[in-house]
Structure 1
Amino acid sequence: MSDPALETLQNVFGYDAFRGDQRAIIEQVVSGGDALVLMPTGGGKSLCYQIPALIRPGTGIVISPLIALMQDQVDALTELGVRAAYLNSTQEWSQTREVERAFLAGELDLLYVAPERLMTDRCLDLLARGRIALFAIDEAHCVSQWGHDFRPEYLKLSYLVERWPDVPRIALTATATAETRHEIAERLSLHHAEQFVSSFDRPNICYRIVEKNDVRRQLMALIRDEHEGDSGIVYCLSRARVEDTAAYLVREGVNALPYHAGLSAEVRAQNQSRFLREEGVVMVATIAFGMGVNKPDVRFVAHIDLPKSIEGYYQETGRAGRDGEPATAWLAYGLQDVVQLHRMISDSQAEENHRRTQGRQLDSMLGLCETVSCRRQSLLAYFGESIHNCQNCDTCMTPPESWDGTVAAQKLLSAVYRLWRERGQRFGAGHLIDILRGKETDRVKEYGHQSLSVFGVGVAINDQGWRSVLRQLLALNVLAVDTQGYGTLGLTEKARPVLKGEQQLMFRRETTIASKSTRSSKAVTQVPPEAQPLFQALREWRSAVAKEHEVPAFIIFNDATLRQIAIEQPQDLDDLRCISGIGVRKLKAYGDDLLACVANVAASSVE
């Protein structure tokens, strides 16, 4: 019995079997039904619309938010023998006309379009004159006005069902809470779409969160000790921070590049191209970078500032280890991060409901940082999923100690209370710690705070320890950053039972977490020693071919495919057909070269 979906998977993409919900999603769309798909980065979302587009008559229209990545997506499909093209503002008029002609002639399997281009009268009229197999709305969370990557133009995409009611639509994203899923379905008119929610777990990623203490030095230690020569992404909160960090890494010998919205479009495109096409590049960026990046061998994602939400954090860390190999998600944060983000929310021009939502999202992120339980448990619980301890995060590998912080909390809260109640004053964290530690600074003496009854009551705890107490009180919503934007601290209603001794508080004790290496060399060690020369030779061959074709190396073959070749050492084309990731087109294009590489290394080993 014919199985078009499986035949396409095997012949075009070179994989033996579907994973997870892929088959069910594909069958839903092939039959003409709508689908809302939540699948983690690296889970194979693209196959869920690419295969239906190849099976159904007409052209699959893919709405993708970043035009800078369309070229690589189209290049990857072209290597597989798929007839793919894109329409965006980077093309010459003659190129645009040729793509339009090919679409109208039925010569395209997939056409990538940015949402801004799609909703123009010219593009809509073009689509109306051709035959459409499906609409795929990638990065569908961009439609959520409460989300971390909101794109206003996505709100217009509900028009598609009005103009093409019989064309199936599939919306895909790697991150969305139940609330965001509901918003996607509502705003894209996918009320009757079947929803497919895969596990959010990425077990190959090791999650680690540390306290900031000279964060540039900490970042450099992570790269030097665990990820030297690896591709990675470093996220920063501001453009200035990006520039400063990238320059520092370059001075330290790291191949680092900056990326933020303040750079020219040309520089951004150039840096992104280098990151995708070269090995061992570290991109230092704001959250403006990364959506849709399909580079599979990013070995680490580091945040040197606190992300604004768990959804954003999950989306960004998900760009590590798309190939399934070990990867690191590393975050360093401090008390100042919390104060700064609260101030940004307070100063925002957004409506009150939006600011309130942002505040709740930040509280959840802070809770993840300060948890004493499994990081992955807390992360997945945010998306409504539960797991046992993962044994691949810092709190599982080195369980943190807890201590009774009730008395310490009472001392700190009393200081805040007395300053406000007795003197009508509010101060930030640094000044409060100076009072508790009994430091007669110029500012303490200026305000006469050495006369307070709480002056010096916290001398037994050092500055770092008090910052930890402050962060955990903020995470528990016992303390709050004021709403005036000055970064001072005030009490919440939850402080009352603590001050009265009616509630015990157990705190996380800060420890130095032993590092767990996830270097990309692990991928090499998974190859038996006798197969490593062939593996390296295959990688060198791939690099040369990719350079000749002007595409990233992973578009030719990923490491997993080369590793399987190195281990199994196929002797003929029939053997190569059994290697995962080698479809008909690639077998024809590269089969002889691969066999020659195997033979050459075998011959040299005999000599």
Structure 2
Amino acid sequence: MDRVIKQPLEALKEYFGFDGFLDAQEEVVGKILTGKDGLVVMPTGGGKSLCYQLPALCLRGVTLVVSPLIALMKDQVDALVAKGIPATMINSTLSLSEQRERISRMRAGDYKLVYVAPERFKAESFVRALEDVDVALFAVDEAHCLSQWGHDFRPDYMRLGKALERVGRPQCVALTATATPVVREDILKVLDLRDPFEVVSGFARPNLSLMITAVSKHDQKYKRIREVVKRWKTGIVYCATRKRVDEVSEMLHDWGVSCIAYHGGMSDDMREKTQNVFINKEADVAVATNAFGMGIDRSDVRFVIHFEVPGSVEAYYQEAGRAGRDGEAAYCELLFNYADTRTQEFFIEGVNPSYATICGVYQYLLNQADSDFEVHQTMEQIKDGADVKNGMAVGSALVALIRHGLIERFDVAGSRVKGTRLLKPDVLTSRIGIDREALEEKERRDSSKLGAMVELCYARMCRQQWIMEYFGEADAAACGSCDVCRSKFGDDASEGSDAQVLVLRKALSGVARMSRKVRGKWEGRFGRGRIVQMLVGSKSQEVKKNQLDTLSTYGILKSEGTAYLNELFHAMHDAGLIYTQKGEYPLVSLTPRGESVMLGKANCTLVWPNANKEESATTADEGVELSEVGFDPELFERLKQLRFDIAKAENVPAYAVFPNKTLEYFTRLRPKSIEAGRQIRGVGEAKADRYLAQFLAVIKTYG
């Protein structure tokens, strides 16, 4: 019997009213109809849902769709039913009798698509019932939730591999909007896909203007929000915490903007009602935590603002991608202040409890359990009793213990407190069997993701291009519409001459020689100043003591000089070729992109330093860091006052004139001419023509 009962173009026209496919959709649908398992990575707004909905209408049998959010399921099912497509959903909002009735109708072939929450697969009765259903296709939506290295890992997704086996191992396709190569590999492994096809369509969203704006104070953030809302009207403001959501939404209300506030602390009913207000266009702006937006289908979102830096590039790009789903121009702005990373670090600590924390929580539960092996205490009580500093870490520790079958959580009759039941009370804390190395590795990866997000904020290469390469898309073109592409600093970037590229590759080789590669990742051992000393052949005691004069790269860039190389290292950092570890010891290492350029496997655009070494931006002695050049706080304050006066007169933020770092360079290096001032980082041609002479005058009169 032929499993394909309808041709895709016929179904596309009949049910969706489209005469043709969007980019990559036709390829994906065609591959699914061949019967092969597959992995599909398609950007937000690229029509990912159609890739499994259309085959469901073309195949004999039912398509199961695993979806992580109840609101997302409801929206999709409502939209399908409105088109005359037999679809339904099964999740925790239904009674047992309703679930049984829908499963019975699945067996009878009444539905073509059934959306299922991943936690349903915990129930043995549900999995057993599915064994009698003719499942044509098993579609896993938001598949990045499968990977603990993904940005939204959900333990319930880990059961899907076994569930596939239980229902007869039907054809399976996994779909997601954001997945790095590592996450894609994890998805294939967890689902054990058979000889799968992989379609990774272009991540680029050419209709989005990606802007990252450096801000130092909250009033600057509110000013930018007001300007963006006034110009773009409809959009989303993402905040890191519930408290911030309330503050920003109240501010918008005070401005007369119709908006909603949405966060995970609201009840399920309230979240659904609030979300529907925005989807139905009864409010112009949504102020929300990252709990909002997965599957939000409002096409006229014209802007997305991030009030704080997100925890990963994946999260940032998925959230930014909720703007401009209609293909029209949209604006995305991240209001970046490095201090905001502390919030994300707190979250990382909270979702990655240490082995000691998990053991401490488990031991406390053992000590407090009653004769029924139950503990009736709030999370706060467990936190205090187990002496855990980060309250989030308690919840994460409990999840880890649940996942390992040591405890379960249950509702306590007549109380709002959830109880905790010990399932294996004879298991000692020393024998809980949790993989300590895996915990540490996940924490390291989450920290690395935050580090990559910060790198993107500081990078001076095209935002889209940087993101494309992060997701493994080589040789991506510059977008032309982000803040870097629009700035003169970005316009000056080029691939450079053969001679410049040779110098660049030698410099990267020097970084590699003074780093080490651990489990495929470069780790730095020295700072920039020491690496530059080695490259120019310095005979300093520090170079000799560390035996850097024995390296094959010692002195290979002596002809370039220290000043040029210091600027080249700044440019390499801005282009994402090297990474500088934050902290007391800023160690420098290669990025994957830097390694590719070093080996000649990839090209890159760079803002090349001026080769004129007589009056370069860095005039310190050989190998000396800029921080070691004299700093005069009084001159710095005079320059800040001048900047304030100019900014006030032009009604722009102070950083729009020159950022603090550029003022620090002015203070330390004291350029005497326009040409010397142009060499300082942060001074492009436009700013040099407009402001530089005034700052040089202050430096000159100061003496």
- Could you list the per-position Cα deviations for residues 501-553 of structure 1 after superposition, in whole angstroms to 9, with x for gaps in the alignment? xxxx974459999xxxxxxxxxxxxxxxxxxxxxxxxxxxxxxxxxxxxxxxx
Q: Of residues 466, 480, 488 in structure 2, which corresponds to 1:378?
A: 466
Counterpart-to-counterpart distance in 2, 1:16 and 1:509: 51
Q: Which has the larger radius of gyration?
A: 2
Aligned-partner residue type, residue 399 of structure 1 = K
Q: Is 1:233 aligned to 2:410, yes or no?
A: no
Once the two structures are TM-superposed, the CA of residue 55 in structure 1 deviates from its matched residue by 1.5
Q: Which residue matches 2:229?
A: 223
- Could you list the per-position Cα deviations for residues 340-383 of structure 1 after superposition, in whole angstroms to 9, with x for gaps in the alignment? 43465467525332232223222221222122221111111111
Q: Of residues 324, 349, 352 in structure 1, which corresponds to 2:353?
A: 349
Q: Of residues 359, 363, 374 in structure 1, which corresponds to 2:447?
A: 359
Once the two structures are TM-superposed, the CA of residue 117 in structure 1 deviates from its matched residue by 1.5
Q: Which moved more, 1:55-64 or 1:371-380?
A: 371-380
Counterpart-to-counterpart distance in 1, 2:323 and 2:288: 15
TM-score norm. by structure 1 comes to: 0.67
Q: Which residue matches 2:476?
A: 387
- Could you list the per-position Cα deviations for residues 372-415 of structure 1 after superposition, in whole angstroms to 9, with x for gaps in the alignment? 221111111111223222122122223347999979x99xx9xx
Task: Confirm or deny: 8 A CA contact 1:139 1:292 kept in the other structure.
Answer: no
Once the two structures are TM-superposed, the CA of residue 33 in structure 1 deviates from its matched residue by 1.2
Change (3 A) 1:326 1:341: same
Counterpart-to-counterpart distance in 2, 1:293 and 1:375: 24
Q: Which moved more, 1:335-344 or 1:300-309?
A: 335-344
Q: Which consecutive unaligned segments of at least 5 residues does structure 2 have? A: 355-438, 494-562, 571-579, 586-628, 642-653, 666-678, 688-703
Q: Which residue matches 2:363?
A: none
Change (3 A) 1:367 1:191: farther
Q: Which residue matches 1:120?
A: 123
Counterpart-to-counterpart distance in 2, 1:354 and 1:455: 44
TM-score norm. by structure 2 comes to: 0.58
Q: Which residue matches 1:422?
A: none
Q: Of residues 643, 648, 661 in structure 2, which corresponds to 1:469?
A: 661
Aligned-partner residue type, residue 300 of structure 1 = F
Q: Of residues 268, 287, 302 in structure 2, which corresponds to 1:265?
A: 268
Task: Confirm or deny: 8 A CA contact 2:659 2:682 kept in the other structure.
Answer: no
Other structure's SS at 1:462 match: helix
Change (3 A) 1:455 1:150: same
Once the two structures are TM-superposed, the CA of residue 86 in structure 1 deviates from its matched residue by 0.7
Other structure's SS at 2:265 match: coil
Q: Which residue matches 2:424?
A: none
Other structure's SS at 2:136 match: strand
Counterpart-to-counterpart distance in 2, 1:147 and 1:417: 29
Change (3 A) 1:467 1:265: farther
Identity score, percent: 39
Aligned-partner residue type, residue 224 of structure 2 = Q
Once the two structures are TM-superposed, the CA of residue 186 in structure 1 deviates from its matched residue by 1.1
Other structure's SS at 2:138 match: strand
Q: Which residue matches 1:528?
A: none
Q: Which residue matches 2:321?
A: 318
- Could you list the per-position Cα deviations for residues 538-582 of structure 1 after superposition, in whole angstroms to 9, with x for gaps in the alignment? xxxxxxxxxxxxxxxxxxxxxxxxxxxxxxxxxxxxxxxxxxxxx
Correspondence list, 1:135-534, <5 A: 135-190=138-193, 192-212=195-215, 213=217, 214=219, 215-224=221-230, 226-228=231-233, 230=234, 232-342=235-345, 345=348, 349=353, 351-385=439-473, 386-400=475-489, 456=633, 459=636, 462=640, 469=661, 507-508=681-682
Once the two structures are TM-superposed, the CA of residue 309 in structure 1 deviates from its matched residue by 1.0
Counterpart-to-counterpart distance in 1, 2:120 and 2:7: 32
The two structures, once aligned, show a CA RMSD in angstroms of 3.5
Q: Is 1:63 aligned to 2:66, yes or no?
A: yes
Q: Which residue matches 2:605?
A: none
Once the two structures are TM-superposed, the CA of residue 294 in structure 1 deviates from its matched residue by 2.2
Other structure's SS at 2:488 match: coil
Q: Is 1:9 aligned to 2:27, yes or no?
A: no
Counterpart-to-counterpart distance in 2, 1:197 and 1:37: 6
Counterpart-to-counterpart distance in 2, 1:112 and 1:216: 40
Aligned residues: 442
- Could you list the per-position Cα deviations for residues 429-460 of structure 1 after superposition, in whole angstroms to 9, with x for gaps in the alignment? xxxxxxxxxxxxxxxxxxxxxxx985627616
Task: Confirm or deny: 8 A CA contact 2:140 2:173 kept in the other structure.
Answer: yes
Q: Which residue matches 1:31?
A: 34
Aligned-partner residue type, residue 462 of structure 1 = K
Other structure's SS at 1:298 match: coil
Aligned-partner residue type, residue 460 of structure 2 = V
Task: Confirm or deny: 8 A CA contact 1:237 1:305 kept in the other structure.
Answer: yes
Aligned-partner residue type, residue 232 of structure 2 = H
Counterpart-to-counterpart distance in 1, 2:455 and 2:118: 35
Task: Confirm or deny: 8 A CA contact 1:207 1:375 kept in the other structure.
Answer: yes
Other structure's SS at 2:331 match: strand
Task: Confirm or deny: 8 A CA contact 1:335 1:470 kept in the other structure.
Answer: no
Task: Confirm or deny: 8 A CA contact 2:488 2:684 kept in the other structure.
Answer: no
Change (3 A) 1:63 1:234: same
Aligned-partner residue type, residue 633 of structure 2 = G
Other structure's SS at 1:391 match: coil
Counterpart-to-counterpart distance in 1, 2:683 and 2:286: 33
Other structure's SS at 2:40 match: strand
Aligned-partner residue type, residue 153 of structure 1 = D
Once the two structures are TM-superposed, the CA of residue 467 in structure 1 deviates from its matched residue by 7.0
Once the two structures are TM-superposed, the CA of residue 461 in structure 1 deviates from its matched residue by 5.3
Aligned-partner residue type, residue 237 of structure 2 = V
Aligned-partner residue type, residue 223 of structure 1 = V
Aligned-partner residue type, residue 319 of structure 1 = R
Change (3 A) 1:453 1:469: closer
Once the two structures are TM-superposed, the CA of residue 63 in structure 1 deviates from its matched residue by 0.4
Counterpart-to-counterpart distance in 2, 1:471 and 1:189: 56
Q: Is 1:108 aligned to 2:111, yes or no?
A: yes
Change (3 A) 1:341 1:236: same
Counterpart-to-counterpart distance in 1, 2:58 and 2:225: 47
Aligned-partner residue type, residue 225 of structure 2 = L
Aligned-partner residue type, residue 56 of structure 1 = L
Aligned-partner residue type, residue 661 of structure 2 = V
Counterpart-to-counterpart distance in 2, 1:268 and 1:59: 30
Counterpart-to-counterpart distance in 2, 1:29 and 1:252: 50
Counterpart-to-counterpart distance in 1, 2:640 and 2:663: 14
Q: Which consecutive unaligned segments of at least 5 residues does structure 1 have? A: 419-451, 474-504, 514-607
Q: Which residue matches 1:444?
A: none
Once the two structures are TM-superposed, the CA of residue 72 in structure 1 deviates from its matched residue by 1.5
Task: Confirm or deny: 8 A CA contact 2:131 2:168 kept in the other structure.
Answer: no
Change (3 A) 1:244 1:81: same
Counterpart-to-counterpart distance in 2, 1:26 and 1:506: 53
Other structure's SS at 1:233 match: strand
Change (3 A) 1:469 1:345: farther
Task: Confirm or deny: 8 A CA contact 2:213 2:336 kept in the other structure.
Answer: yes
